[in-house]
Structure 1
Amino acid sequence: MKVLLVMGMVAGGVGTHVRSLAESLGAAGLRVVVACPSPVVASLGRPAEGVTWFEVPIGSRPHPVRDRRSVQLLRGVLQGADVVHAHGLRAGALAVTARKVARGQRPCLVVTSHNAPPEGRAARTVYAVLEQVVAHGADLVLGVSPDLLERAARAGAREPRLAVVAAPVPVAVTEEERRSIRARVRRGLGLAPDDDVALVVNAGRLSSQKDQVTLVDAVDLLTARWHGQGHTGPPPVVVVAGEGPARAALEARITAAHELTDVRLLGHRADLPDLLLAADVVVSAARWEGQPVWIQEAIHAGAPVVATDVGGTRTVVGDAGLLVGAEPGPERARELADALDRVLTSPELRADLRRLARARSAQLPDREDELEAALTAYRGV
């Protein structure tokens, strides 16, 4: 079987998922071509055996000239493919168009919807149009969260299914190794390995969707409450691993915070698994998530989780964390602060959440599940 994977300008989990899927399909003996923009090719690195990168200029916004060129290139590269699997509505709509104008036998088309509607009236209108094109033009629509499946069905997709997005399962570590990693990470952050300063970890692209500004609001409330209520010991240190367009706004909010509020932007970190192993709590303030890979990694690490109940987060977390309200604004910040306060001030609750995380880890999908779900989808069409 020859499979063509198509994606546009992506960041974070989508690119990681497509690379993982491509490697698994190639290792299973399929011929795999990944069509995507040149910056994504560069970020994905050298392709695995059996996988070929093919540059197609799929942008994040409509562009008549560029989109026409993308359709021409896709029409050529999909010749001879048995299945085209597009990731994201932009890539999916272009794949629908390319298949329509292709000569000869046309491959089956699967499209995975990876993101909720963006902010802004114009962007949402474009998103809705792409949903319609994909729903009526693809043989099968997958979605990474239940709300996306509902949207696909309303747009006219026939029996949309939940996609499987797996995080890499880390090598198991002993308790002694965990303590060593924790000590090393804390020293790197200027924290003593055995003091009582709690470490709270957040990861992801610095963006309005991930909403780290609301996270700082929550930590600011928590810090003020910590001193006002006379908690013993210092307030927590919060670290954010990631880069993105919201950095300037986030830095401004941190500057305006309470003088004792300690939120640190670490930038891109290659040692995220170690950060998660060292965390006393991991926290997400996202406005929307699909099947967040980094939270899956946190659960595999046995970390207590506090997160907003949005998109597919509940699908990932199950009962292995505290989920708070999805409504944006001051109420969300207050609920996050309340949940963090509960976890940080209760060793018993932290221990219980670690136990639940370890149990949940065994239930999360791995790369074999991810591969089998894709192959099942391809066979079905």
Structure 2
Amino acid sequence: MSSTVSSTPAPPPGNPPGNPHGQPPLHALQVLGGGSSGSGVHVRSLTAGLVARGLRVTVCGPWRAERGYGFTQAGAWFAGLDPRTNAGAVATLRAAGAGAGLVHAHGLRSGLLAVLALHGRGVPLIVTWHSKPYAEGARAQAVRLIERRVARRAAIVLGASSDLVERARARGARDARLAPVAVPAPRATPPREDGWRQKARAELGAVERPLLLAVGRLVLDRGFGPLLDAARVWRALDPQPLLAVAGEGPDRAALQRRIDEEGLPVRLLGRRDDVPALLAAADVAVLSSRWEARSLLAQEALHAGVPLVATAVGGVPELVGEAAELVPYGAPEDLAGAVIRLLADPVRRVELAAAGRARTAGWPTEDDTVAHVLSVYDELVQT
């Protein structure tokens, strides 16, 4: 599809924050790189909040992100970025950002594209780091160079977790801050009636056996290798727990081959749009990632009152506090042990469910996030 801008109705009249005395509404350009679930949900929420407050918002990103998150439905203009070449994406950004009061990029690639597009323009750049890329060898060195370039060019780097803030500072950011990231409003879930729950579990093959749920892209850094190691441990239980994994990715064939060869009690479900329903049917949620900032699965599990076992990496401990069982990354025996103990302890599962719901009450809301971002915008456009 060509890189064209979708028009939307003009923003409502009035003087939004950052634009006093009858000045035109601030035009904020949002740049979305890969359109991952966490950053995509965040930009959709942020877009809706900014438009509601009278800002003019243009979102630049992959067309699949527009189809998945509906930025134009939130009142934004949308410009599709050419995924094939950086040159095409930069040209689109330069055109879409003409007259923008500031640019807010989400992620490392989008930050680099924004740096290139803004060359020679005195437009403030904000970059939010939602995650960190996994890289080894020569690619790791390239990633460090890109991080350094983006961090030093940005007026402000916002980090979704404390370790991302420290990473930005280490890369030379002039101003790096921890930013509240909105927890999406819980998506509708079916009523958790016994009849419905049993039907959902039957469809997965877990009628009279515990059901575990993991969600994520099937790639190395999501820790599905150690998770399968853990499944090899708990397959000795009677009844044998079933691990259902929702997600797609390049490692699917290798994971399925291992599941078949070792006879592991694991089902790869592929891409699913009904994660809340899957959580409602599960006994325990499992997060096995090498690193996370603010895991969407962890957020949804705690909101739903589903006990969570997670790796103590990145921003996970500060996100969940005492409301989850935390284990080291790459320690399948610890992961398996935590799951086995939870399955054998219904009282502990109830305690974690209550702790999870209590924990979510203290998380930032979408309004908190929009208000914080607006304060940052004001700070930059008024200087």
TM category (shorter chain) comes to: 0.7 to 0.9
Question: In structure 1, how many angstroms separate the alpha carbons of the residues matched to 2:170 and 2:160?
Answer: 16
> SS at the partner of 1:116?
coil
**Which among 305, 318, 322 is matched to residue 325 of structure 2?**
322
Q: Which runs of 5+ in 2 are unaligned?
A: 1-25
Match of 1:48 in 2: 73
In 2, Cα distance between equivalents of 1:5 and 1:171: 24
- Among candidates 178, 200, 211, match of residue 212 of structure 2: 200
Give the Å deviation of 1:45.
4.1
- CA contact 1:88–1:115 (8 Å) conserved in 2: yes
* Distance change >3 Å, CA 172–CA 271, structure 1 → 2: closer
Alpha-carbon shift at residue 220 of structure 1 (Å) = 0.8
1:236 paired residue among 238, 241, 248: 241
Residue 139 (1) aligns with residue 164 (2): no
Structure 1 stretches of 5 or more lacking a match? 60-65, 227-232
1:167 deviation in Å? 3.2
1:118 aligned residue: 134
Counterpart contact for 2:47–2:71, Cα < 8 Å:
no
- State the distance in 1 between where 2:170 and 2:71 align: 39
What residue in structure 2 maps to residue 37 of structure 1? 62
TM-score (norm 1): 0.87
Which residue of structure 2 lines up, in the alignment, with residue 370 of structure 1?
A: 369
Residue correspondence of structure 1 range 58-137 to structure 2 within 5 A:
66-102=85-121, 106-137=122-153
Residue 138 of structure 1: how far off its partner (Å): 0.7
The one-letter code matched in structure 2 to 1:4 is L
Counterpart-to-counterpart distance in 2, 1:268 and 1:172: 18
Tell whether the 8 Å contact from 1:8 to 1:57 is kept in structure 2 after alignment: no
> How many Å apart are 1:159 and its aligned residue?
3.3
Q: CA deviation at 1:88?
A: 1.1
Match of 1:159 in 2: 175
Aligned pairs, number? 355
Match of 1:62 in 2: none
* Residue in structure 2 matching 1:280, options 279, 283, 291: 283
Q: Deviations 1:117-149 (Å, cap 9, x if unpaired)?
A: 422222211211111111211110011222211
1:101 alignment partner, SS class: coil
2 CA distance for matches of 1:347 and 1:307?
Answer: 18
Q: Which whole-Å CA distance do the structure 1 matches of 2:165 and 2:36 have between them? A: 22
Q: Which amino acid aligns with 2:109?
A: R
Distance 1:138 1:171 in 2: 34
CA, structure 1 residues 39+158, in 2 after alignment: closer, same or farther (shift >3 Å)? same
Distance 1:98 1:13, change over 3 A: same
Task: Indicate the residue corresponding to 1:229 in structure 2.
Answer: none
Structure 2 counterpart of 1:374, one-letter code: V
CA distance in 2, matches of 1:46, 1:35: 10
Question: Contact between 2:290 and 2:311, CA under 8 Å: does it hold in 1?
Answer: yes
Query: Cα RMSD (Å) of the superposition?
Result: 2.1
Counterpart selection for 1:184 from 181, 184, 199:
199
TM superposition shift of 1:316: 1.6
1:360 maps to a residue whose letter is R
Matching residue within 240, 247, 250 for 1:245: 250
Structure 1 residues 379, 334: closer, same or farther in 2, change over 3 A?
A: same
Query: Residue 235 of structure 1 aligns to which amino acid in structure 2?
Result: Q
- CA drift at 1:46: 6.3
Paired residue for 2:21?
Answer: none
Shift of 1:51: 0.6
| Aligned position for 1:18 | 43
1:214 maps to what in 2? 226
State the Cα distance separating 1:319 from its structure 2 match.
Answer: 0.7
**Secondary structure in 2 matching 1:4:** strand
Tell me how far apart the structure 1 counterparts of residues 101 and 359 of structure 2 sit (CA, whole Å): 36
Query: Residues 179 and 140 of structure 1: is their aligned pair in 2 closer, same or farther, counting only changes over 3 Å?
Result: farther
SS at match of 1:100: coil
Q: Deviations over 1:5-44 (max 9, x none)?
A: 0122233222222222222222232111001133433443
Cα pair distance change 1:173/1:57, threshold 3 Å: closer
The verdict on how the C-alpha distance between 1:348 and 1:219 changes in structure 2, with shifts beyond 3 A counting, is same
Question: Which residue of structure 1 lines up, in the alignment, with residue 14 of structure 2?
Answer: none
Measure, in 2, the Cα distance between the counterparts of 1:183 and 1:68.
52
1:65-93 deviation per Cα after TM superposition (whole angstroms, max 9, x unaligned): x3233333322222221221001112112
Identity %: 41
**What is the one-letter code of the residue matched to 2:273?**
A
Contact 1:84 1:107 in 2 (8 A): yes
